């Protein structure tokens, strides 16, 4: 089976979203779509998903000056999924990991 959910994202801003709007964020694989993400969250955490929003953050280009010249590299792109749950459902990341 293909892995969809890479890891949950936990920041102060996302914690406020969890409390106020019952939205949770996950880092997902780049090839996954909203239907696969919804099914993966429902199967793993046993909750009802009402909506999924996705965004792709492009990786930064990094340049480093060395004795031999410039080294140019790029960080990986990251796809995030913001999942809205039914009003009475919650996810406890510490218990369900």
What are the boundaries of each domain within the chain? Answer: 5-87
Q: Read off the pLDDT band of 92 (50, 70, 90).
A: confident
| CATH superfamily name and code, 5-87 | RRM (RNA recognition motif) domain (3.30.70.330)
Q: Structure pTM?
A: 0.83
pLDDT 10s digits, 29-73: 999 999 999 999 999 999 999 999 999 999 999 999 999 999 999
Residues 6+ apart with CB under 8 A from 33: none
pLDDT 10s digits, 4-15: 999 999 999 999
Residues 6+ apart with CB under 8 A from 48: 42, 85, 86, 89
What single-letter DSSP state applies at residue 71? E
* Rounded CA separation 93/95 (Å): 6
């Amino acid at each position: 089976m293909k892995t969809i959910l890479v890891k949950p994202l936990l920041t102060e801003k996302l914690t406020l979203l969890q409390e106020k709007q019952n939205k949770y964020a996950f880092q997902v694989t780049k090839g996954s779509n909203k239907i696969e993400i919804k099914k993966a969250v429902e199967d793993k955490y046993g909750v009802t998903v009402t909506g999924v929003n996705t965004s792709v953050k492009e990786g930064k280009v990094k340049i480093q000056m060395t004795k031999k010249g410039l080294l140019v590299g790029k960080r990986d792109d990251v796809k995030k999924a913001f999942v809205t749950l039914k009003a009475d459902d919650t996810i406890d990341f510490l218990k369900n990991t």
